[in-house]
Structure formats: structure tokens, C-alpha cells
Amino acid sequence: MEMNILSRTSEYLLLSNATQPGNYTNSTTTSIDALNASTCSPNTVNLSQVEYHSNHRYYTLLKETRLQPPVFRGNHTALCSSTKSLDVGYAYCLPISGRKDSPFCTGADRMDLLTQHTSKTQCYASVLHMLLVEVYEELYAFGKAPLVVYGSLLGAVRNGSMIPFTEDTDIAYSGQLNRDDELGRALVAKGYHFFFLNIWRVCVAPTHPLAAILYNPRLPIARDYAVPYLDLYAMEKLNATEWRLEKYVDKALSAEKVEPFSQVTINGLPFDTVHDPNYFLKESYGDDYMVPKPRK
């Protein structure tokens, strides 16, 4: 049986190309006359300037990586300009591909991203796990009361992991979000693209410290919903008996089903969620919510 065991190895990335001083590494642009093409590299995050919210081993190893920025060619050179990210939605997301099959990607984890991969061994859900953990930590740090919901909660309840065949991950939050507030700036500073398209969403930006190994140059500029991404759903307590959650079956949630919050674990890490996860999932997905339904 083929399974993803790379996260259990000790061969983590310790590459020799150190980042430059400052908040980001220096970008470069080179003209290749012979090929009538230009290349560029984005200003990737300088990890020495980044403060994470936990001492998890992932962050220790991430800060020990020394990756040069990815090299973009052709129409991908548009990804070198962060100023173009404001109104283009998914088009500024780093083109990323990955496997979605089981059992290979069952239990996929962000730690897997710190090992050498090919297109045949990288799992989509590993990137989703990275997005889930880091965005949840930022929301929590800024008092947004994050809760895992929808597909993220479904994976946690089914088997305590990410769903291997899904395209996205989901978090609810309280309060207001804005790209230019402290939370928005913190996400951008860590190498994420934070944008609004019907709801707030997050994907991996070209500036991410792992961009060089996540980037797939064979893909086109990202189309909507065609890369790993995270959806953020506004949640609000309406009164003493009701909560409202975006996209939730067109009705209010009973307060007794929401609070006090409970916890689930995903890949061994704890996350807050609604008080009655099984009720929430049954209302969202039906009585058979525990049965996996891979998308066709």
C-alpha cells in the first residue's frame, strides 16, 4: 500500500541560499534575449523578521530553511509585483498542484512540506493544513475567536485530519476583517494572499518562504478555486439564543449548539469549534456526513 511517509523522515530542507537582510529577500529581473523572454523573482519573506505564535517544531525547521525565491517566466512574471495583488483575487495565488488520493494523502501535514518533494509526492492537503494552522493562529492572536467549521470540522470529526481530496479549508471568525488592519498585514507579512471574493479568502502568495518548492511552473496563472485556499466565514451572536454563520443552511444556529465552544484535533493540534459538532455537520451535510464523498 502506497502511503505518504515523508513527514516521518529526517531529511528536512536545509538549503544553502540564505535570505538577504531586511523584511524580504531582494528581487531580481533578468532579460534573456536569446529566448525573447524575461524572468523575475518575487520579494520573498525574510524569516528572521517573522514572529510566529507558537514554538512548534515546524517553525523551528522553517526558519532553518534557506531557499532562494522561485523564478517566474512568461506571464508568471506578473506574480513578482505585490502591488497587483489587490484586485485580482485568485490570480495572485502561487500556482500549486498536489495529489488528493487516499491512502497516500491520508494524514497529510504541513511538516511534509519541509521535505523534498516531486509533483508525484506532494499532497494538496499538506498545503491546506499549513493554511489552516497559520491563519487560525493569526485570528486567535487578534481576538477573532476562530472556529473550524464545514469541511475542516468534517475532517476533524471523521478521523482527526485534513480531508485528502478537498480543495479548501474553512474557519469561522467573529468581528470585522480588512486587508489593511493588523490581521491583514500579519498574513501578508507571513507570505499569504488575503483577498475578498464574495467572502474573505487566503491562499499562498508568491512571497511565501516555501514558494520555491511549492510552485509548479507548468500551471497557468491561478484560476478561481484552482489552488489550495482557505475560506473565512463571518460569525455573529445575534442575541442570547441565536448565532449567524455565513453560508449556513439559511437559518440561525441555536446558541446552545454553538457555546460554550468545544475542541477537536487535526493532526494532533487542538482547534476550537462549535459546542455540538455532530449537530452542525448533520445540518450541513446530512445524516450520512461521516461517509466520505470524493468530488468527481
The grid coordinates of residue 284 equal 450541513
Q: Which residue has the higher pLDDT, 173 or 81?
A: 173
**pLDDT above 90 (res 9):** no
In DSSP notation, 211-236 reads HHHH--TTSPSPPTT-S-EEEEEEEE
Find the range with the poorest average confidence among 81-95, 256-270, 276-290.
Answer: 81-95
- Please name the residues in contact with 56: beta carbons below 8 A apart, sequence gap of 6 or more: none
**Confidence tier at 251 by pLDDT (50, 70, 90):** confident
Q: How many CB atoms lie within 10 A of CB 17?
A: 11
Q: Is the peptide bond before 103 cis (omega within 30 degrees of 0)?
A: yes
The grid coordinates of residue 160 equal 482527526
* Burial class of residue 296 (count of CB atoms within 10 Å of its CB; 0-12, 13-18, 19+): exposed
Q: Which amino acid is at 76?
A: H
The grid coordinates of residue 233 equal 466565514
The grid coordinates of residue 44 equal 520573498
pLDDT digits (tens, 9 = 90+) for 51-76: 999 999 999 999 998 889 999 999 99
Mean pLDDT computed over 170-176: 98
Mean pLDDT computed over 108-135: 93
Residue ranges of the domains in the chain? 39-285
Position of cell 520579494?
A: 43
Cα dist from 99 to 119, 151, 194, 203, 243, whole Å? 8, 18, 24, 17, 37
Q: How many CB atoms lie within 10 A of CB 135?
A: 24
- Percentage above 70 pLDDT, the chain: 86
How far is residue 152's CA from residue 149's CA, in Å, rounded to a whole number? Answer: 6
How far is residue 129's CA from residue 164's CA, in Å, rounded to a whole number? Answer: 10
